[in-house]
Structure 1
Amino acid sequence: MKKYKFIDLFAGIGGMRLAFTDEDSECVFSSEWDRFSQQTYEANFGEKPHGDITLIPENEVPNHNILIAGFPCQPFSNIGKREGFSHKTQGTLFFDVLRILKEKQPESFLLENVVGLLTIQKGEAFRIIQNALIEIGYTVYYKVLDSVDFGIPQNRKRIYIVGFRNDLKVNSFEFPSGNSLKEPINKYIEWGAAGYSITKKTQENYLFKKDDGRPQIIDETSEFPVKTLVASYHKIQRLTGTFVRDGETGLRLLSEKECKSIMGYPKDFVIPVSRTQMYRQFGNSVAVPVVREIAKEMKKSLCIEINDNQIEFVI
């Protein structure tokens, strides 16, 4: 089987790369501007991602079969000349995805974003994104998926956008549906994890200042998935946070091991940065099992069966 090549844009700590990597793949380029994320990425993949993608000419990006990107979303301006959808995306980070796709014309791509992308600017931003991808020659599919349906104990809805180059004639694409079995968080609690405690003062004066059932507290009886892990988790927010009834003060933040569990990262994934950076990095990451299942479906769509019943990637 031929190896397929992929590039990893807005790579973060490499969650999408983990999901796409197998014995028949090769990541030929990665880009991530944040130096702390670069540090984690390098510790796990043995290479430091290139920096700011906006400064990298598209002709310097290697040829590849699949582009993957968890691009940040910025509002699109309605000001200026309407010279096609590609023009409308200028000044946004999506434009950098678009210019690379247009120049390199890979067979396929996977883009990931928050579900708010569907409603920002009353849906105009997503319409521009979708039409811009169609305009440069791709058939586009999208769906909102929740990580809780893919075997990890976290509610985390994200939109996934898959595209195939028109000449491949991929006229249908089925996103994975996961399953209805919900993993409970109590199976993954690391009892006695040290160094994550929340002070009694913070608990009394902030977290439990109101008797409104917040924040979410988990313990051995918690047979449900946790809330979405956000990048600002280290700020100990009572409305969005999930905390563990454990530790030196009776309440603590999620441990590194628990963060890996709810994001679907392997236990041996290396975290060489501070705790604050760790939470920010996992909060900005993808749920690896979701992307892995999408990757499997994409690979099926990009394969042809040859005479000896082996599968060969369309190049």
Structure 2
Amino acid sequence: MSNPIDLLKEARLRFSQREIADYVGKDIKTVRRWEKGETPCPAILEPALREMLRTPRLQELAEPDFTFIDLFAGVGGIRMGFEAHGGRCVFTSEWDSYAQKTYAENFPAEHPLNGDITKIEAADIPDHDVLLAGFPCQPFSIAGVSKKNALGRAHGFACDTQGTLFFDVCRIIEEKRPRAFLLENVKNLMSHDKGRTWDVIKSSLIELGYNISPRVVDGAHFVPQHRERILIVGFRNEDGIRFDWDAVGLPQKGVHVMRDILHRTDGTEPVLPWDGDRFFDHAGRRVQDKYTLTPKLWRYLQDYADKHRAKGNGFGFGLVHPGSVARTLSARYYKDGSEILVYQGEGINPRRLTPRECARLMGFPDSFRIPVSDTRAYKQFGNSVVMPVMREVARAMVPHILARREDRHDVPEALACAA
């Protein structure tokens, strides 16, 4: 193989765009243009790419403790939680091209980044120990189910869930039979569509032969943000494991407050080469002015809050101070930032969080790179998971994932309960 673009493609199966850019001494945008074919990959880089391919990644030096797949992956928050405990991702699916861009920059391309999961055959997905999915919540059409019951006809998950993205989760579970899964969704999943959505989800997973354990967990145990999400842990019936949520360590709420994630103006704000001064003016020790609300927008939000307060409603902006715990960051944060506005002092308009602060609010480390626009970044973090929650749930799940049926007694008693 002598074509540099072929070498680049091979390198991308093991390294991120950022790692390649750093290795060959080019800007990441240049690497991206090479990949897209917008500019030719220079032949002079062939020796460097060959040498890079001879360099093992740290992850490749040892076999993983377990493998997992990352469905509806977003920017990889669930993945990070499971990688922290020895797992290796062997398949990823995410349809949004901007989320793919963020994901590709932060994770090595050890496998192709797949798009629309509905177009992928379950049999083509690699075998894996754990299925991870932050699947979208969609209404289930169960019209006709009662009629089928009356006629004595079986319907099953394929009938009840067809046409929803949850169906794709089910067909992959049915085909690959992973030892376990972790599904994530909004808190209201159980009450969605008057409880019918949850009834279908629960019965479908049980029908597939899994013991499920749902729990609503608030991200405020780990970050300064109230963010309640339902997590559904499942283990195969034949393994005889019933997940114990008491094994998940949840720190006291209120310990983490906004000062933990806000940019520091005392000269101690870290200088991140991948951020530069995009969000924070390090010389001036201040957040960039563009995040401060304009007088017009600030006046609008105050009037809107006053109007609803007069009606006895609770609608309005959420003003936070260094000692506060914020409301839930939403995907619409880019519009006006109203749910989380940072107080900047008397007579000064409040400001939005910067995308870096949003990343911190979701528990992502500062090493996480943000290659997309502010608007896209706000949407991505607003749709993401609180990563430390996933890391803690993974910690409690891993002993079960690693256990074999014949040596389940080796699993700590606090972590296992025979079904």
Per-residue deviation, residues 91-143 of structure 1 (Å, max 9, x unmatched): 00000000000000000000000011110121111011011011011111100
Contact conserved, 1:17 with 1:27, CA < 8 A, in 2? yes
Does residue 233 of structure 1 match 2:337? Answer: no
Q: Percent identity?
A: 40
Q: 1:201 to 1:2 in 2, by over 3 A?
A: closer
C-alpha separation between the residues in 2 aligned to 1:25 and 1:237?
Answer: 36
Contact conserved, 1:199 with 1:249, CA < 8 A, in 2? no
Partner of 2:400: 301
Does residue 10 of structure 1 match 2:72? Answer: yes
Does residue 26 of structure 1 match 2:88? Answer: yes
* Code of the aligned partner of 2:75: I
Does residue 285 of structure 1 match 2:384? Answer: yes
Q: Offset at 1:245?
A: 2.3
Does residue 204 of structure 1 match 2:299? Answer: yes
Contact conserved, 1:173 with 1:301, CA < 8 A, in 2? no
* Code of the aligned partner of 2:204: A
C-alpha separation between the residues in 1 aligned to 2:303 and 2:342?
Answer: 14
Contact conserved, 2:77 with 2:386, CA < 8 A, in 1? yes
C-alpha separation between the residues in 2 aligned to 1:235 and 1:4?
Answer: 41
Does residue 217 of structure 1 match 2:279? Answer: no
Gaps of 5+ in 1: none
Residue 227 of structure 1: SS of its match in structure 2?
coil
Give me the TM-score of the superposition, normalised by structure 1.
0.90
2:287 to 180, 193, 197: 193
Q: Which has the higher strand share?
A: 1
Contact conserved, 1:200 with 1:249, CA < 8 A, in 2? no
* Code of the aligned partner of 2:352: L
Q: 1:43 to 1:172 in 2, by over 3 A?
A: closer
1:43 to 88, 105, 114: 105
Q: Which moved more, 1:41-50 or 1:276-285?
A: 41-50
Partner of 2:177: 105
Contact conserved, 2:84 with 2:391, CA < 8 A, in 1? no
Q: Offset at 1:303?
A: 3.0
C-alpha separation between the residues in 2 aligned to 1:210 and 1:3?
Answer: 52
Does residue 264 of structure 1 match 2:336? Answer: no
C-alpha separation between the residues in 1 aligned to 2:140 and 2:182?
Answer: 21
Partner of 1:152: 223
Q: 1:101 to 1:26 in 2, by over 3 A?
A: same
Residue 384 of structure 2: SS of its match in structure 1?
coil
Q: 1:98 to 1:198 in 2, by over 3 A?
A: same
Gaps of 5+ in 2: 1-62, 149-154, 266-285, 413-419
Partner of 2:340: 242
Does residue 60 of structure 1 match 2:124? Answer: yes
Per-residue deviation, residues 131-159 of structure 1 (Å, max 9, x unmatched): 1011011111100000111x210000000
Partner of 1:253: 352
Q: Offset at 1:87?
A: 1.6
C-alpha separation between the residues in 1 aligned to 2:99 and 2:72?
Answer: 10
Does residue 167 of structure 1 match 2:238? Answer: yes
Residue 68 of structure 1: SS of its match in structure 2?
strand
Q: Offset at 1:218?
A: 2.0
Contact conserved, 1:89 with 1:128, CA < 8 A, in 2? yes
Q: Offset at 1:296?
A: 0.9
Contact conserved, 1:186 with 1:218, CA < 8 A, in 2? no
Aligned length: 304
Q: Offset at 1:298?
A: 0.9
Q: 1:180 to 1:23 in 2, by over 3 A?
A: closer
Larger-gyration structure (1/2): 2
* Code of the aligned partner of 2:353: L
Per-residue deviation, residues 159-185 of structure 1 (Å, max 9, x unmatched): 000100111100342252502241121
Q: 1:259 to 1:206 in 2, by over 3 A?
A: same
* Code of the aligned partner of 1:118: M
RMSD: 2.3
* Code of the aligned partner of 1:227: R
1:74-85 correspondence to structure 2 within 5 Å: 74-80=138-144, 82=148, 83-85=155-157
Contact conserved, 2:294 with 2:349, CA < 8 A, in 1? no
C-alpha separation between the residues in 2 aligned to 1:46 and 1:105?
Answer: 26
Contact conserved, 1:231 with 1:279, CA < 8 A, in 2? yes
Q: 1:46 to 1:234 in 2, by over 3 A?
A: same
Partner of 1:89: 161
C-alpha separation between the residues in 2 aligned to 1:110 and 1:132?
Answer: 15
Q: Offset at 1:54?
A: 0.4
Per-residue deviation, residues 276-295 of structure 1 (Å, max 9, x unmatched): 00000000000001111111
C-alpha separation between the residues in 1 aligned to 2:403 and 2:180?
Answer: 15
Give me the TM-score of the superposition, normalised by structure 2.
0.68
C-alpha separation between the residues in 2 aligned to 1:51 and 1:146?
Answer: 30
Q: Which moved more, 1:133-142 or 1:179-188?
A: 179-188
Per-residue deviation, residues 57-97 of structure 1 (Å, max 9, x unmatched): 10110000000000001000022455113320000000000
